[in-house]
Structure 1
Amino acid sequence: MTIGCFQKKKVYEKSVLEIKKELKNKRNQNTNGLSVSMLPKREQILIRHIHHMTNKSNKNNVTRTQAYFDFYVQHPEIHWALLGHMVSRNGGWSMTDLKGDLLSRLLSEKEQKNFYLFLERGNWLIFQDVYPQLLLYQYSVKMNRNLFHLLPFLNVSIFMEVIWNHFWEHDDRYLLAIATIINEQSYLEQRVVHHPHFKETALDTLGFKLYDFLRFNHVIFPYYPHGKTEKKPALIGDTLHHFGSLHERIMLGKRLYTILFQQQASVLRNVLRWANKHPHTGSRADYWGDLFHSVNESVPGTVYRRRTKHCTRRKGAPRIYSPPLKYAWKNVNHSPAETGDWFNDLHVIDYFVDEEKNTGGEIYEKYCKAMEKIELAIIAKKAIFLRQE
């Protein structure tokens, strides 16, 4: 380790210790009974405006995903906004997969709807928690004044109040991004992952276990290698194992952040180039139009035959139907988010310093094999059904 790296690590460790100390102080403060009416009039107006803007963009996965991207374009120093945008694209693809050519043949209509509501609730919850934070930062920059004392009035964890204050002073972009990953995944833990309703209708079902077994749970980032936009985009990304594990989800987020922002400068540049050229629709045709199509090209009632070989369409085979979100699912009217602050354990700050093995983002082979496994499962299911007849 060079002297420069050693000094940088010492400074970083000092920052983490400062955050830990501030979190201890904040944890002892009672935030119960806070009311927006306690604030000065201009701050009340700002809170109402932030709620309005958040609700406006929280209609569905497409509007959320676009809002993240628009924010990142304006504030590229907030790395999580781009990471959130790319991961949210994957959330949208997972939603429309349920109505596409593949999973719709393996899952019942009830299972499809239950899985969609599970994915949609998580997507909605994250947005209504994180987007007000982003807007408050935007107004802090615009007014050249730290406004993060308003975060508790937006029902944001004291964990993020400490982190945003630290970012405002030190501009530590990595630490803010990792903290946001920790916050959002921890926020989902009791509200979705361990919520009795979603455990019963999604996570503990045979359909979800099949989905996990088939490994169709990759997070992919399309990008243009060498910046050549006329060619089929390449894929980079990672795989989520054990969705029910908070630790696994946080570590996946850290690996995805590394892929986007710490691996090669060209990756970030070329992912951005692809994202800017392809607005999110929810259809996988957004990135591979030669393999997926937003219109169903199959003849109704025909027996499914394999269409892919190593992520290439077999000669004469129709493209895999992958509908845009607006044709797959209707918007959902959500019940209000459950109240309460998830933060109760100082050990979560260990994620700032925990080292995670860099996978390099190699995902293409795994992704192709996952599609082939799903096709084989469809054919096997049909064969069993025919034998039973």
Structure 2
Amino acid sequence: MNGPGRLENLDHLHDPGLLPLWRELHRKLSSGRPVRTVLLEGLDLRSQQALADLLGLSSYPGASVRVRLDRLDQALASSGLDTRAAVEALVAPIGDRAAERAKRAKDTDELWAWLAGHPVVTAEPALHAWADKVRADGAGGDHEAVRAMVDQALAIVAMLPLEDGLPLPALAQRATGDPHALDGTGRLPLLVLRALAALRDQPPPEDAEQRRALWAVFGVDCDAHSTNVLVLGLRPTADDPLSTTLRAWSAAGTAAIVTLDQLRSSPGPVVDARVIHVVENPSVLALAQRRFGPSCPPLVCVSGWPNSAAVALLRRLSSNGSELRYHGDFDGAGVRIAAYVMAKTGARPWRMATADYTVACAGPAPATRLSPGRITDAPWDPELAGAMREHAESVPEERVARLLLDDLAEAAAGRTEGRSRTQSHSLKTSAARSGGSQ
């Protein structure tokens, strides 16, 4: 076959009257499907004449004509060309739209499969609706760019909440290297803010004030004095002001409020407790205070969706060796809150399995039966969502408070027994020393 340079001497192929033929051939051949004929319509006299000359026709073919490619190949043979080579030289390289569509479809499927299986999304059922919205918005033509931006958004979500209360530009610098990357309503801040709103089961922010408020909930430019968490029976072992104060309140059998500012100023708290229980609702903590008073084992209340102070405290307690056990409401929001607490702090479920839910539903019927609302999967128990859909009943934490308090009683008994053994050992040691010195 001749190269494109040879066409410079083939003036009859460059005839403007043949452009409708070459362009239609390029369109059809680029479909990726077999082509035997092309239909040309609306040909003017010049195009009809040029086509008749090319194909050796005895008369003009008319305004509409179907051209067979085998006939065209014969006409081009004397020039050392076939139809495909002529079209590529006269118009542009021939593509394969079918293959391109298949590749785009494959790339799109892979993108959304990656998003659905992203560890941040699978750990947080509340993000499934956000992922669906990202998918509905589409990938456009650049799958790699969309994947990179969504991955960056999820990396920022995983960083939150902050303990150090960075300003938004500082967070953007830390996360992306660009202090303005999270400004305003650009694509990246929009993705992150929508994800944060989904985590808290609320609509995305609509104005600058709502955006600032949502960032603050996750520890960005937040008020470290009003951001706090409720605790009871927390007895840190250090002598810093926060630890000393918490021990005093525990000895008095009184709950205490720990602010994010206090946590930032404290090296701890380090608690000598193997297990620390965590509840969603302050009413359960109040019942524990009434029952146990000064002997209450360590208990933390996140008060619904945990703020940055609650997450910071639980992370520190966990990193210092205590096992966190979490319980919350058995409803749609409660399961999402539980998943959030577990994902952010490493807590384990406490009486939050399918069996616990079904037993509670089988108990005495409440005066008012509450709907569980929108149900999402529980990462720690794949059967729980199905059971909640089947029973269609919410089980507030207060409804099973007696069982929770019984667990705390066992924990308190174990702690008291351990302390008694330690005190007994100390007394024997002191007596032995006294006897030896006489």
> TM above 0.5, one fold?
no
Higher helix fraction (1 or 2):
1
TM-score norm. by structure 1 comes to 0.27
Which structure has more relative contact order (CA 8 Å, sep 6+)? It is 1
TM-score norm. by structure 2 comes to 0.25
Q: Between Structure 1 and Structure 2, whose CA radius of gyration is higher?
A: 2
